[in-house]
Amino acid sequence: MSRGIILVGHGSRDPLWRAPIEAVAAKLAAVRPELPTRCAYLELQPPDVPSAAAELVALGVRQVCLVPMFLGTGKHARADLPRLLDLLRATHPDVQFRLQPPVGEDPRVLDLLAAIALE
């Protein structure tokens, strides 16, 4: 079963805001070129999560991991993403969708942020 990743960002009117998330996608592509990865945004910018998921499904992906690129669990991570997950599962019943916790809650990210703050 092929796997894919969707890096989910909030979205912004400023197109430069996308750069860090797209940089993560580029790093993933460099180290795991066989792993299809898409960026998607909840507001203000395309593509949205359903569009990114549809692209992966069209490639034959049958396991999709949604990775919220947020520092914490706010309304989007607590309410909007689970609602989108339900929609994706209903739209693509033959695909497994999994939602990771926001990246900012990973102790490794917290350690890195603390180290950066101490510089």
- Predicted confidence at residue 74, as pLDDT, reads 64
Instruction: Give the span between the Cα atoms of 104 and 101, in whole angstroms.
Output: 8
In this model, does residue 67 exceed pLDDT 90? yes
Specify the higher pLDDT residue, 76 or 29. Answer: 29
Question: Mean pLDDT score of the chain, rounded to an integer?
Answer: 91
In this model, does residue 39 exceed pLDDT 60? yes
Residue 18's Cβ-side half-sphere holds a number of Cα atoms within 13 Å equal to: 18
Is the distance from CB of 104 to CB of 114 less than 8 angstroms?
A: no
Mean pLDDT of 47-68: 96
Domains of the chain (ranges; CATH) run 3-118 (3.40.50.1400)
